[in-house]
Amino acid sequence: MKEVAIIGIGMIKWGELWEKSLRDLAVEAALKCFDDAGVDRVDTIYVGCMSSGLFNNQEHLASVVPDYLGQRFTPATRVESACASGGLAVRSAFLEVASGMSEYALAVGVEKMTDVDGGEATFGLATAADQDNEAFHGVTFPGLYAIMANAHMDKYGTTIEQLSQVAVKNHYNGSMNPHAQYPFKVTLDQVMNSTKIADPLRLFHCSPITDGAAAVLLVPVEKAKALNKPYAVITGIGLATDTIALCQREELYNLKVVEKSAQRALKMAGKTIKDVDFAEVHDCFTIAEIMVMEAIGVVEPGKGGPAVMDGLTALDGKFPINPSGGLKAKGHPVGATGVAQICEAVNQLRGESGQRQLKNAGTALTQNMGGSGASSVVHILEARS
């Protein structure tokens, strides 16, 4: 396979974007990506999106995006894996370039979730759960992650303070991110006293409903070298799936799908987690960040909560997690999240993250998850110049 580089990234301000359509979001992010790369050539397009049919009554994004991007007749494919759709779109674009099928592959992640009310959004998101064993009985994703949180707390003694500190950390990081939906700081008391959603999870333990898009442009490394500017290389990718229903897993306090996907990505990159400098992970709920950091091997199982309290994952910690603010503060337009994680990783590796720039950022890991851990995509990226 050819070595694959990312030469352009594009991300828009996320939030409740009433004045913009689904196609507007995707096109704006893609054009920013072209501007960043300094090129406008594209041989193929992959669009990550979970539920545009339910949220916007618009399917066939493989035609919509190239059409309104001014790329008529360009081969395009829509990719869906619930909340991991964006990460899977990047993986698909990687394979396109690595195989030699294309030289310039664009991965766009997009979702516009606020065109429907809260009930309809909850219904749309629940399609990523097991319809017969979960959604039919009224179990929503806050409920599923609450089950996982309770299991983790019972097994390891994880506390509500530890779950809350994840939100405090990520909002602090997000307060310095101009693209974040909620760029403000919160206190531990504010998180712990916010409205209860599904015991033990409270409102500030949960990621929001978001409109947003992000894009990355992938090329063979020799094309990136010719541009004479810093770029990032994807050296490892891991994909795994698990049972869609939480009730069919042997254990509820770990994420085997994340462990498997991370192991595959690190093996492909020829690295261990000790070689990674920071990570962007899927904190759809704060318990998820704790479980993911354990699954990828940053700490031993059960040590995630104490590690957060000790500052291990802070911007100035030994292993920063979610310097972007994560899904919690940056937002979670489900089809775009995985692509945005790549954007943040590339920004950090290029040393262009402003106030939240990490020191000595040379190798990054991104982890994008679907449902309650039914799918997971992990990328390893390295800085080059």
Q: Is 60 a catalytic residue?
A: no
Mapped onto helix, strand or coil, the DSSP state of residue 203 is: helix
| CA pair distance 338, 365, nearest whole angstrom | 12
- Both tokens assigned to 288: 């998820």
Q: Are 382 and 235 in contact (CB under 8 A)?
A: yes
Catalytic residue among 33, 49, 83, 206: 83
For residue 157, report the phi and psi dihedrals to the nearest 5 degrees: 80, 20
Q: Is the CA virtual torsion 273, 274, 278, 284 positive or negative?
A: positive
First to last CA, the chain: 21
Are the CB atoms for 54 and 75 separated by under 8 Å?
Answer: no
Q: Identify the active-site residue in 152, 171, 282, 332.
A: 332
Residue 317 CB partners (closer than 8 Å, separation 6+): 311
What is the identity of the amino acid at 286?
T
Per the CB < 8 A criterion, the answer to whether 348 and 361 are in contact is yes
Rounded Cα–Cα distance for residues 168 and 152 (Å): 20
* β-strands 105-112, 211-220 pairing: antiparallel
- Based on its alpha-carbon atoms, the radius of gyration of the chain, rounded to whole angstroms, reads 19
Nearest 5°: CA angle at 109, between 191 and 130?
Answer: 65
Residues 6 or more apart from 154 whose CB is under 8 A from it?
253
- Encoding tokens for residue 352? 């262009």
* 332 given a catalytic annotation: yes
> Six-digit token pair at 112?
């516009």
Residue pair 66/72 in contact (Cβ under 8 Å)? The answer is yes
Half-sphere exposure of 231 (CA within 13 A, CB side): 26
- By CB atoms closer than 10 A (0-12, 13-18, 19+), residue 19 is exposed
- Which positions are annotated as active-site residues? 83, 332
